[in-house]
């Protein structure tokens, strides 16, 4: 049993959009204790209440002037795109052809895949991200390498092999049948092993034939608790192309719906260009949106309306979408989410952004019984932030009135520099 003493903030519920939400949603201890037993949260509370009753033999670790938050959750990211982050000048369809496909080609080599996976997981941890929903490449080897690397670090991770059988280079093409067989073998090998889960991963509608999308639907029928992970309605040229490729579908989202791909544990990246019927469909099926503001700005895709989406009752988490996104940091992603939401005429409070990066992400992934906050019994993945990590932060924080303002300033000015330490299932992680 270990007791971690620092300031602690976490969410018990969706805090809504008020700057100062009513107490049940946000729990903040200026001097708090997080009590961890065998990798799970046993209690969280004020030091004044918990210190006198620490269990026999409990180790006390104290971090004055630091802030503990739950491990952050990245609901959409591509590990094979690590080496092409910050690629210049193109929007989605050209960006895929110019940068993405040649980069992903290298993942037929398992040694390369493992080397990138190890670096990628280290980078997630350096940024305070402890769980992610991750694209591999078309190569099954890419997913074996990723899951093996994640298992070594005991991380809770979701990943899958890309399915794509058209509109991409020959060297990256599978077939409906090979995608089905390869995905099935990976599910049987990895899904539910330790903290790992599998996601059936058709890249996006333009790169799968209707036959392949049907195979994806068949996998979801055969393995009802696996995830579905894809992209939808990210870019205007992409949306128009899908309309040409699937003339019988009411909308881009409807292509997936018609193939039985929308359900709880479906993670739909971007969702910028959905209409009213699409939004109702997302809400009714229990599918979730991965909101990827850094990527949506970096590759010029558009301005997602997170407030409107949530008002429709749709689950939303945050995603960096690296390599389309330009940062691994969910703090920086919150920064961009705030600015995009300003342009949509709404405001995101620091608590709402922390929610999106933690408990909201956990709900989007149907993992809120396991991670997302410090409710007793949850897996003890958490992050120690140093709010004074840079001279500017230290200076700005002298003028902070409360935790709402401190968190906001950390999101606007902070990144990996403010992440001091990370624990995974109660054990300190090395990046």
Binding site for ligand GUN (CB under 6 A): 78, 92, 96, 100, 203-204, 231, 234, 295, 321, 324
Quote the least distance from Cβ 321 to ligand GUN, whole Å. Answer: 5
Residue at shortest CB range from Fe ion: 321
Neighbours of 20 (CB within 10 A): 12
Tally of CA atoms within 13 A in the half-sphere of 204 that contains its CB: 22
Cα 385 from Cα 356, distance rounded (Å): 18
Beta bridge partners of 26: 11
Strand-pair category, 419-424 with 427-428: antiparallel
Cα 354 from Cα 332, distance rounded (Å): 12
Residue at shortest CB range from ligand GUN: 324
CB 131 within 8 A of CB 371: yes
**Pick 131 or 137: Cβ nearer ligand GUN:** 137
Neighbours of 307 (CB within 10 A): 15
Q: Residue 158's closest CA among 115, 200, 120?
A: 200
**Pick 269 or 282: Cβ nearer Fe ion:** 269
R_g of the chain, CA atoms, integer Å: 21
Q: Residue 32's closest CA among 42, 45, 20?
A: 45
Q: Which stretch binds Fe ion (CB under 5 A): 95-103, 160-168, 172-180, 269-277?
A: 269-277
DSSP three-state, residue 364:
helix
Quote the least distance from Cβ 374 to ligand GUN, whole Å. Answer: 32
The entry of ligand GUN, Fe ion, none that residue 47 binds, CB within 5 to 8 Å by partner kind: none
The entry of Fe ion, ligand GUN, none that residue 421 binds, CB within 5 to 8 Å by partner kind: none
**Pick 100 or 332: Cβ nearer ligand GUN:** 100
Quote the least distance from Cβ 201 to Fe ion, whole Å. Answer: 10
**Pick 274 or 425: Cβ nearer Fe ion:** 274
Q: Which residue has the tokens 């991409």?
A: 168
**Pick 33 or 288: Cβ nearer ligand GUN:** 288
The entry of ligand GUN, Fe ion, none that residue 204 binds, CB within 5 to 8 Å by partner kind: ligand GUN
**Pick 16 or 300: Cβ nearer ligand GUN:** 300
Quote the least distance from Cβ 100 to ligand GUN, whole Å. Answer: 5
Q: Which stretch binds Fe ion (CB under 5 A): 2-10, 138-146, 268-276, 404-412?
A: 268-276
Helix axes 403-413, 350-357, angle to 10 degrees: 60
**Chosen residue from 27, 123, 321, 336 binding Fe ion by CB under 5 A:** 321
**Pick 326 or 373: Cβ nearer ligand GUN:** 326
Cα 164 from Cα 168, distance rounded (Å): 8
**Pick 253 or 393: Cβ nearer Fe ion:** 253
Quote the least distance from Cβ 388 to ligand GUN, whole Å. Answer: 35
The entry of ligand GUN, Fe ion, none that residue 203 binds, CB within 5 to 8 Å by partner kind: ligand GUN
Quote the least distance from Cβ 407 to Fe ion, whole Å. Answer: 27
B/e letters for 274-302, b = 16+ CB within 10 Å, e = fewer, are beeebbebbeebebbbbbbbbbbbbbebb
Quote the least distance from Cβ 327 to ligand GUN, whole Å. Answer: 14
Region for residue 79 given its phi and psi (left: phi exceeds 0; alpha: psi -120 to 50; beta: otherwise):
alpha
The reply on whether position 234 binds Fe ion by CB under 5 A is no
Interface residues toward Fe ion, by CB under 5 A: 269, 321
């Amino acid at each position: 049993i270990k007791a971690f003493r620092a300031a602690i903030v976490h969410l018990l519920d969706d805090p809504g959009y008020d700057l100062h939400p009513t107490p049940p949603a946000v729990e903040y201890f200026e001097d708090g204790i997080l009590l961890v037993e065998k990798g799970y949260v046993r209690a969280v509370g004020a030091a004044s209440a918990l210190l006198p009753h620490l269990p026999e033999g409990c180790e006390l670790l104290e971090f004055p002037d630091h802030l503990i938050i739950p491990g952050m959750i990245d609901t959409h990211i591509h590990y094979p795109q690590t080496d092409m982050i910050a690629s210049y000048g193109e929007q989605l369809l050209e960006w895929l052809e110019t940068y993405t496909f040649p980069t992903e080609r290298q993942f037929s080599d398992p040694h390369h895949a493992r080397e990138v996976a190890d670096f990628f997981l280290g980078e997630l941890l350096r940024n305070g991200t402890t769980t992610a929903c991750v694209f591999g490449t078309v190569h099954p080897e890419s997913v074996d390498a990723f899951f093996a690397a994640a298992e070594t670090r005991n991380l809770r991770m979701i990943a899958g092999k890309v399915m794509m059988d058209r509109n991409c280079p020959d060297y990256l093409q599978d077939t409906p049948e090979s995608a089905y067989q390869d995905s099935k073998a990976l599910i049987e090998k990895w899904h539910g092993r330790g903290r790992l889960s599998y996601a059936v991963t058709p890249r996006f509608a333009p790169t799968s034939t209707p036959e392949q999308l049907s195979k994806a639907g068949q996998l979801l029928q055969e393995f009802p608790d696996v995830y579905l992970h894809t992209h939808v309605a990210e870019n205007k040229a992409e949306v128009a192309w899908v309309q040409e490729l699937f003339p019988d579908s009411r909308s881009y989202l409807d292509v997936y719906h018609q193939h039985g791909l929308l359900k709880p544990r479906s993670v739909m990246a971007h969702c910028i260009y959905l209409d009213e019927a699409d939004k109702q469909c997302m809400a009714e099926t229990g599918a979730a949106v991965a909101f990827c503001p850094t990527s949506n700005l970096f590759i010029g895709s558009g301005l997602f309306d997170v407030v409107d989406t949530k008002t429709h009752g749709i689950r939303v988490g945050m995603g960096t979408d690296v390599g389309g996104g330009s940062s691994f940091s969910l703090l920086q992603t919150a920064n961009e989410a705030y600015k995009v939401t300003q342009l949509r005429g709404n405001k995101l409070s620091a608590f709402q952004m922390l929610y999106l990066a933690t408990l909201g992400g956990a709900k989007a992934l149907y993992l809120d019984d396991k991670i997302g906050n410090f409710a007793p019994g949850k897996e003890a993945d958490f992050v120690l932030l140093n709010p004074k990590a840079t001279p500017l932060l230290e200076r700005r924080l002298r003028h902070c009135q409360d935790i709402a303002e401190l968190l906001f300033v950390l999101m606007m000015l902070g990144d990996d520099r403010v992440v001091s330490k990370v624990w995974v299932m109660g054990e300190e992680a090395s990046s």
